[in-house]
Structure 1
Amino acid sequence: MRAVGFTSFGDPGVLAVAEAPLPRPEEGQVRIRVEAATVNPADVAARSGAFGPMLPAGPRYVLGWDVAGTVDAVGPATSGFTPGDRVVGMSDWLATRNGTHAEFVVLDAAAVAPAPAGVDPAEAATLTANALTAVQALDLLGLVEGQTLAVTGAAGAVGGYAVELARHRGLDVIGIGSAQDEDFVSGLGATFLPRSDDPGRALRAIAPEGVDGLLDTAVIGAQVLAAVRDGGAFVSVMPPATPPAERGIRVETVFVRSDGARLRELVALVEQGRLTLRLARTLPFEQAAEAHELLAKGGLRGRLVLVP
């Protein structure tokens, strides 16, 4: 099978399409014929060598966390899926190095869910890692109906899902984003706040007592912690930007993990029109380097997706 990978860390030019062995599903696993696979910031970080000792030099890495496709084969004693099922799933890539940027990928059945009905695979592929990150971050925050949540990067791939999921939970949401994103963020049901040099002060201007919780998808860190009330909660999506706790604020970092049961719930919300899938562009495997370059430049609204 063909797969996008690299044999040494470096710029996007290290990526290449090459032949790889066809994986075989073991007990409790399914093999998926990949129709679409998202390019995430974690892929860019892995390729560049930014994970350091977490990712030792290896013979060849195949990237990719998200997948949408069709079940091709099931392993022994595997229930819930049969060949021909259209599915979405997520690879716990840092733990398994099992990338989805390939023509086939094997995942645990517990990491897979039926694909949203009537949705193009490229759009469906944008759901898994980003929406799971958002919902798992909201779980960490532990806010209840009627409380106030601020989301930095509210128009981003994770932030947009977080706003919609928080509104679904009955939270009041303040979404921080660039001026061009006001209509989108407001349309999700959030109070829009434009980005500024002092987001903590800007948030306090509209929430003087402080917000109950803050999800920092824009990786601002300590500067925005000031907007959280004493005893509130703060969740970061990247460890280097996770500030030390202060004023009794509970500070945590979300590390996304696969969860097929939760993914089924998210798929249902997509089918109900409560979650907005956003696809920026599709590119063939052969243009993986271009996808990495585009993602690194920033400014995208939605995800880049590779197709075999």
Structure 2
Amino acid sequence: MRAAVVTTFGGPERVELAEVAVPQPAAGQVRVRVRAAGLNPVDGAVRAGVFGGAGQRLGLGWDVAGEIDAVGPGVDGWAEGRRVVGLHYGPVKPLGTHAEYVVLDASAVAAAPASVDDTAAAALPLSGLTAARAVDLLGLAPGDSVLITGAAGVVGGLAVQLAARAGLVVTALAGEGDEEFVRSLGAAGFVPRGSAPAEPVDGVLDAAVLGETALGFVREGGAYVGLIPGAAPAAERGIRVEEQEVAPDGALLARLSALVDAGALTLRVAGTFDLSEAAKAHTALATPGTRGRLILTVSP
């Protein structure tokens, strides 16, 4: 089968399409026939060698949407032909979701949203799980205020929707031209990039990775949640500092899928590329101002 991999670190030109063996599901696993797979910034970091793995063949891709093709021993509740979404965690792995088939633990998949096609569904797993876990880590109560930086981005936009649904009073920090968009997602307030909120907030979800600057917007004793492990600022003024680290979670992914079907969670696709165009997609990934997730599609 075909799979997008890197064997030498560098720019988009290092992404190659390789012929590899079709993976076989072990006990507790399912094999998914990939129809679409998200391209995330972490894939660019893997390609560039940020996570190491020199001398190895590294697979790319974390998000997947498709249908179950085979079921390993001991798997209950899943059958061949079921449409699913899933997260294939890990930056250093021999095979990712940018391939024709991928094997996942059965606990890492969920029924795909029935209201959207595979291309849109592939934008959900990594970004949705990241946003949902970050909102939960805030530990805020309905009526509390939260500032979400990078609110017009893929993760930030999902976080705005989830936080507003949880009853939080959301202020979005984004580019000046994004105000109407982030308010349509549920933001009650808006702060242009480079500015500060008028008063301290109960919590910050720092999708833009502003670090100490964003921490300065939090009231004494409030909460700060970062999205990149190891990148959060040091705690101060009694502020609780948390770092979200995504993990496969089929149960949470199922709840997010249900929100998509209920019209409560909007998925955004910025563009699509065939699997054979993986290197071209990586070039697009580096283009500033992309609004939505880039998706690799795999023809039947």
Is 1:15–1:288's contact at 8 Å kept on the other side of the alignment?
A: yes
C-alpha RMSD over aligned residues: 1.3
Task: Say whether 1:19 aligns with 2:16.
Answer: no
SS at match of 1:276: coil
2:180 equivalent in structure 1: 183
Task: Pick closer, same or farther for the CA change 1:87–1:292 going to 2, 3 Å.
Answer: same
Q: CA deviation at 1:56?
A: 2.2
Listed one character per residue, the Cα deviations across residues 134-175 of structure 1 (whole Å, up to 9, x for unaligned) are 010111111111101110011111001101101111100001
> C-alpha separation between the residues in 1 aligned to 2:43 and 2:85?
18
Question: For 1:70-219, what aligned pairs fall within 5 Å after superposition?
Answer: 70-94=67-91, 96=93, 98-197=95-194, 199=195, 202-203=196-197, 205=198, 208=199, 210-219=200-209
Is 1:185–1:192's contact at 8 Å kept on the other side of the alignment?
A: no
> C-alpha separation between the residues in 1 aligned to 2:95 and 2:4?
12
> C-alpha separation between the residues in 2 aligned to 1:95 and 1:30?
20
Task: Pick closer, same or farther for the CA change 1:95–1:56 going to 2, 3 Å.
Answer: closer
2:219 equivalent in structure 1: 229
Deviates more, 1:172-181 or 1:239-248: 239-248
Q: CA deviation at 1:192?
A: 4.1
* TM-score, normalised relative to structure 1: 0.94
Is 1:91–1:99's contact at 8 Å kept on the other side of the alignment?
A: yes
SS at match of 1:113: strand
Q: Could you tell me which amino acid in structure 2 is paired with residue 163 of structure 1?
A: V
Task: Pick closer, same or farther for the CA change 1:97–1:220 going to 2, 3 Å.
Answer: farther
Q: CA deviation at 1:49?
A: 1.1
Q: CA deviation at 1:298?
A: 2.2
Listed one character per residue, the Cα deviations across residues 72-100 of structure 1 (whole Å, up to 9, x for unaligned) are 00001111110000000001123755410
> C-alpha separation between the residues in 1 aligned to 2:11 and 2:163?
37
SS at match of 2:257: helix
Listed one character per residue, the Cα deviations across residues 209-256 of structure 1 (whole Å, up to 9, x for unaligned) are x11110111111111211100011101112454111100101121111
Is 2:57–2:94's contact at 8 Å kept on the other side of the alignment?
A: no
* TM-score, normalised relative to structure 2: 0.96
Is 1:72–1:83's contact at 8 Å kept on the other side of the alignment?
A: yes
1:238 equivalent in structure 2: 228
Q: Could you tell me which amino acid in structure 2 is paired with residue 75 of structure 1?
A: G
Is 1:91–1:98's contact at 8 Å kept on the other side of the alignment?
A: no
Is 2:204–2:223's contact at 8 Å kept on the other side of the alignment?
A: yes
SS at match of 1:93: coil
> C-alpha separation between the residues in 2 aligned to 1:240 and 1:142?
20
Structure 1's unaligned 5+ residue stretches are none
> C-alpha separation between the residues in 2 aligned to 1:196 and 1:11?
29
Structure 2's unaligned 5+ residue stretches are none
Task: Say whether 1:29 aligns with 2:29.
Answer: yes
Listed one character per residue, the Cα deviations across residues 9-50 of structure 1 (whole Å, up to 9, x for unaligned) are 111101011101100001110000000000001000110112
Is 2:230–2:243's contact at 8 Å kept on the other side of the alignment?
A: no
> C-alpha separation between the residues in 1 aligned to 2:153 and 2:69?
33
Listed one character per residue, the Cα deviations across residues 257-302 of structure 1 (whole Å, up to 9, x for unaligned) are 1100001100110000000010111101122122112222221111
